[in-house]
Amino acid sequence: MLNKTFWVSTIAVVLTALIVLLILPKPNTEQFDLLIVNANTYSDGEIHPQTDIGISNGIIQQVSPNISGSATTTIDAQGKTLIPGLTDAHTHTFGDGLKQALKFGITNQIDMFTAPSILSNAIKQRLDINNTQNADLFSSGMLATSSRGHGTQYGIDIETLSNPEEATAWVSKRKIEGSDFIKLVYMPHMLHSQNMNSLNKATAAAVIDASHNAGLKAVAHISSQRGAQDMLNAGIDGLVHQFADSEVTDAFLQQAVKQNIFVIPTLSVIGSADHQEFSLSLAKNNLVNKHLNSMQQQQLSSRFHSDKLPGFNYQLAALNTKKMHAAGVTILAGSDAPNPGTVFGASLHQELQLLVDAGLSQSQALNAATSLPNSIFGITKRGHIKTGQRANILILNSSPLDNIENTLDIHTIIKNGVIFNRDAKYEPNATQPAAIKDGQLSDFSNSLTNNNGMRWVKTDDAIRNGKSTVDINLDDNTLYVNANVRSGFVFPWADAGLFTETPLDISQYSQLSFRVRGTKGQYTALAFSEDRTNLPAMQNFKVDERWRTVQLNITDFDSFDASSTNGFALVAANKVGQFEYYIDDVKLH
Amino acid sequence: MMALKNEIGAEILKAIRAPEFIAPTLLMPCAFYALFSLVFNNSTNNSLYLLATYGVFAAMGPAIFGFGIGIATERDRGWLQLKQIAPTPAYYYIAAKLVTTMLFAACALMPIYLIAGFASDITLTQSNWVSLFAVHISSAIPFALIGLSLGLMFSTNGAIAVSNIIFLSLAIFGGLWVPAFVFSSWMQTLALFTPSYHLAELALSTVNATGEYTPITNLLTITMMSILLTVLAIWAWSKGH
């Protein structure tokens, strides 16, 4: 009996103690890659003060008031505000755009028309958790437009539509190419020039139906309320611009709310077309300009046309956005970069400011660039700060809920769990560059080569299956270039370049100069260095019939490494047409 | 060994049959902890600190009262004398009491841990919980030695009075209720001579809260104190003969 009492009591107590010790709460003892502590965290319209965020393998593993795990890197975000990585819901991505966007904390771009050839790579990259140096791209790919319709003027091969019967086959091709949704251009009522054209109403409607049948959303570029009304009647999911030709009617508002469409007003680009000057103030903002290259600086100060375009009344665009928002139409933030007056990245921040000016609260504007676009476009694991999401996070020094301009007051950008170095040039190279012997690069007195082992060569987009051609010749101690730039590749080019086999260290020089004359227009000098995987660094210069000397600062070639130069090229910038030009006296100073 | 198990069984049975005696020592620490960590708590570290010190407090009750008053009573009734001349070794009697005390200490500790974990939101790693439990449950040993000496030296009534005084003094001066560092300097000096202070420091070190002294110093001090108390208990035992 006593023996039994002993066993029963002892086993009962020991077992109870074991169970209690096992069920007592344990901290998450995971070793995190990155731990952000004490942050005011904004996600989905709510701010959570004093939150810790544990990140491993590029994914947010834990969000809680107190994480006691340890981490390789810990950021004390006391007094700072965290927002999800931003989504720009209207861009046209090419070149370095995804990196330029990330420099401003845009971790996702929803592209509204780009070359279909880049889609498969974009999909591969956005699935890759190690894609930490570029924003992720989601895209419509090719757009649905008519022959001579808007979109055909950019030199990208487009399969145009002329009747409703073509819609189903056209959409299924896009789906195979990797389009995430379908964008169509419908602007029969307001064309920007006489020789332009547009999809007709029946074809546009057929494209929308075909998209829906294929399980894709359909969005429309419109330029007038009449166009928007037609699209609404045809069952469009969203409009990718605000119309700015007339004040939105109550009937339109009611129908838009009833059909639950969304609108991406792109006030930035409408403002630029209407000669509003806010992109200039963006370029002057110290939080912005140090992260822009010279091309982008120029981009922000450039305009569409010398005359204001009809149908682009900024006040009406802002008013319509305000009325739509008030009525309950979902508004998303999109910049339409890199159109004139806009740049990748920075312009989305400006768009947020313009949306707040148009009546959205700071919180609603943030949602328009975080949670909303991702849920509407079916983009998963992005746009929120919560467990299981991609660790795309912006740490801001000051709260955007106090002032939306504070989204530019960036402390740290985190892409897929890795701190993005906004100021980094790129990784150091493997090939040992040789020292340059002679700053006198070419006077074309008798050859296309120089003392440094460099040679003038012709380059064109034929290597990318483009259709452009170019000829270069020595002509009277100058270099004669005859380039015929034709549509075919997304960035058609044909030009002359001076290249070296072994990279050269030219860092003792500060300036590149040359003399040039030729077909009038804006040209671009490209600088290539060893480690560039994307587009080369660029600076623009002007050319006309008279000889002129062009002097370019080497340091203005953004993210160009002068210590391992591969060469330079002088090109007629990204325009289709015939160009003849002469180059002479190419020197480094 | 069967004799030892039977002794333990008898001790447990005795306690269960007189719950009015053992229940307060089991429930009071838990009630105190709930009061101070949940009701009066105003800073986040506080509940973790209190968990470490109240655990020592919880082990102290059954040890001092169980031994002190229990042995004094049994000695008064002549039961101890009977035990001393019985064929079972006398240390079985002490060992059985110690095992029972530790079982009751475990019963007193569990509700405190549950309140700490699920009401005060304290999270500790598995090894921290286990080592904290090990420190708390072992705290019963030096306190049992104190109780043993008291029981052997005083009559029942004397033991009740002295045990209470010793119990409260060790709780207060050892910093089990209020941290010792808020004491005046003479009280802090006094704290150094209590096993409860060093046991509390040891418990705090297992939950990664820094104490005044290194855990090794605490452990050595406790060991020294335990040896001295054992000597005292043996002296009291032989004097009682």
Query: How large is the ipTM?
Result: 0.87
**pLDDT band for position A355 (cuts 50, 70, 90):** very high
Of A193-207, A243-257, B78-92, give the lowest mean pLDDT range.
Answer: B78-92
What is the predicted pLDDT for the residue at A195? 67
pLDDT computed for residue A390 by the predictor: 94
Would an 8 Å CB–CB cutoff place B127 in contact with chain A? no
Residues of A in contact with B117 (CB under 8 A): 23-25
Q: Does A16 touch chain B (CB under 8 A)?
A: yes
Given CB atoms, is B237 within the 8 Å cutoff of chain A? no
- State the pLDDT confidence band at A427, using cuts at 50, 70 and 90: very low
Confidence of residue A284 (pLDDT cuts 50, 70, 90): confident
Please name the residues in contact with A548: beta carbons below 8 A apart, sequence gap of 6 or more: A515, A516, A517, A542
Kindly determine whether residue A21 and residue B133, on different chains, have CB atoms separated by under 8 Å: yes
* Choice between A414 and A491, residue whose per-residue pLDDT is larger: A414
Q: What are phi and psi of B209, to 5 degrees?
A: -95, 130
pLDDT at B240 over 70: no
B95 touches chain A (CB under 8 A): no
CB-based contact, A24 to chain B, within 8 Å? yes
Q: A1, A5, A6: which to substitute to probe chain B, counting the most B Cβ within 10 Å? A: A6
Indicate the helix (H) or strand (E) that contains A207. helix A201-213
- Tell me: the pLDDT tens digits for B205-227? 888 776 778 889 999 999 999 99
Token pair 């508002």: residue: A253
Residue B225: CB partners within 8 Å, gap ≥ 6? B142, B195, B198
The reply to whether B129 touches chain A by the CB within 8 Å rule is yes
pLDDT at B41 > cutoff 70:
no
Residue B42 confidence (pLDDT):
58
Residue type, A336: D
Structure tokens at A52: 């810790």
Contact call for residues B191 and B183 (beta carbons, < 8 A):
yes
Contacts of A38 in chain B (CB under 8 A): none
Encode burial over B147-176: b for 16+ CB neighbours within 10 A, e otherwise: bbbbbbbbebeebbebbeebbeebbbbbbb
Closest CA in chain A for residue B109: A17
**pLDDT for residue B130 is more than 70:** yes
Q: A318, A331 in Cβ contact below 8 A? A: no
pLDDT attached to residue A464: 60
Give contacts of A26 with chain B, Cβ < 8 Å: 123-126, 129
Among candidates B7, B8, B125 on the partner chain, residue whose Cβ is nearest the Cβ of A26: B125
Tokens of A155: 């030199």
- Residues of chain B contacting A5 with CB distance shorter than 8 Å: 9-10, 12-13
Residue bearing tokens 């009304």: A229
- Which chain B positions have a beta carbon within 8 Å of A64's beta carbon? none
**Contact yes or no for B12 and A6 at CB 8 A:** yes
B184 to chain A, any CB pair closer than 8 A? The answer is: no
**Strands A86-91 and A238-239, bridge-based pairing:** unpaired
Closest B-chain CA to A11: B103
Nearest beta carbon to residue A20 from set B103, B114, B121: B114
> How far apart, in whole angstroms, are the C-alpha atoms of residue A263 and residue A333?
9
Contacts of A24 in chain B (CB under 8 A): 113-114, 116-117, 124, 129
Q: What 3 state SS string does B50-100 have?
A: HHHHHHHHHHHHHHHHHHHHHHHHHHHCCHHHHHHHCCCCHHHHHHHHHHH
Please give the pLDDT value at position A283: 86
Answer whether residue B21 shows pLDDT above 80: no
* Interface contact flag, A24 B6, Cβ < 8 Å: no
Residues of A in contact with B26 (CB under 8 A): none
State the CB neighbour count (10 A cutoff) for residue B31.
13
Verify whether the Cβ–Cβ distance A10 to B8 is below 8 Å.
yes
H/E stretch holding A127 reads helix A119-127
The segment with the largest mean pLDDT, out of A24-28, A429-433, A563-567, B19-23, is A563-567
pLDDT band, very low/low/confident/very high, at A305 (cuts 50, 70, 90): low
Contact residues, chain B, for A25 at CB < 8 Å: 117-118, 121-124
Distance of CA B130 to the CA centre of its chain: 18
Chain A residues touching residue B130 (CB < 8 angstroms) = 21
Q: What pLDDT, in 10s, does the model give residues B165-179? A: 999 999 999 988 888
Between A299 and B76, residue with greater pLDDT = B76
pLDDT band at A533 (very low <50, low <70, confident <90, very high): very low
Residue A248: C-alpha distances to residues A256, A377, B213 (Å): 11, 25, 76
d(CA B102, CA A175): 72
The arithmetic mean of pLDDT across residues A138-153, rounded, is 88
Q: Do A5 and B13 touch (CB under 8 A)?
A: yes
pLDDT, averaged across chain A: 88
CB pairs under 8 A between A and B: 71
Say how far apart CA A198 and CA A220 lie, in whole Å.
Answer: 12
Closest by Cβ to A13, choosing from B2, B107, B133:
B107
DSSP B38: I
Any CB–CB contact under 8 A between B126 and chain A? yes
CA–CA dist A578, A581 (Å, integer):
10
Residues pairing with A567 in the sheet: A499, A528
Could you give the residue ranges of the DSSP H alpha helices within chain B?
A: 2-17, 19-34, 46-76, 79-85, 90-118, 126-138, 140-153, 156-173, 185-191, 195-206, 215-240
Q: Are A404 and A86 in contact (CB under 8 A)?
A: no
CA distance, residue B5 to nearest chain A CA (Å): 6
CATH of domain A434-588: 2.60.120.430
Choose the mutation target among A24, A38, A64, A70 for the interface with B, i.e. most B CBs under 10 Å.
A24
Residue A139: pLDDT band with limits 50, 70, 90: very high
CB-CB contact of A102 with A62 (8 Å):
no
Residue A31 has pLDDT above 50, yes or no: yes
Mark yes or no for CB contact A24/B130 under 8 Å.
Answer: no
Across the interface, whether the CB atoms of A4 and B6 are under 8 A apart is answered: no
Given this model, what pLDDT does residue A190 score? 65
C-alpha torsion sign, points B45, B47, B52, B57: positive
Select the residue from A5, A14, A66 to test the B interface by mutation, using most B Cβ atoms within 10 A: A5
Tell me whether A19 touches chain B (CB under 8 Å): no
What confidence tier does A443 reach under pLDDT thresholds 50, 70, 90?
A: confident
pLDDT, tens digit (0-9, with 9 covering 90-100), for A362-410: 999 999 999 999 999 999 999 999 988 999 999 999 999 999 999 999 9
Say yes or no: B6 contacts chain A, CB-CB below 8 A. yes
Range 312-331 of A in CB contact (< 8 A) with B: none
The 10s digit of each residue's pLDDT in B137-159 is 999 999 999 999 999 999 999 99
Q: Are A263 and A238 in contact (CB under 8 A)?
A: yes
B182 touches chain A (CB under 8 A): no
> Which position has the higher pLDDT, A115 or A85?
A85
Mean pLDDT of A45-59: 90
Helix (H, G, I), strand (E, B) or coil at A77: coil
Q: Are A469 and A482 in contact (CB under 8 A)?
A: no
pLDDT tens, residue by residue, A306-342 = 567 778 899 999 999 999 999 999 999 999 998 888 9
* Alpha-carbon distance values, A373 to A44, A76, A331, A353 (Å): 12, 29, 9, 17
Residue identified by tokens 């060893």 is: A530
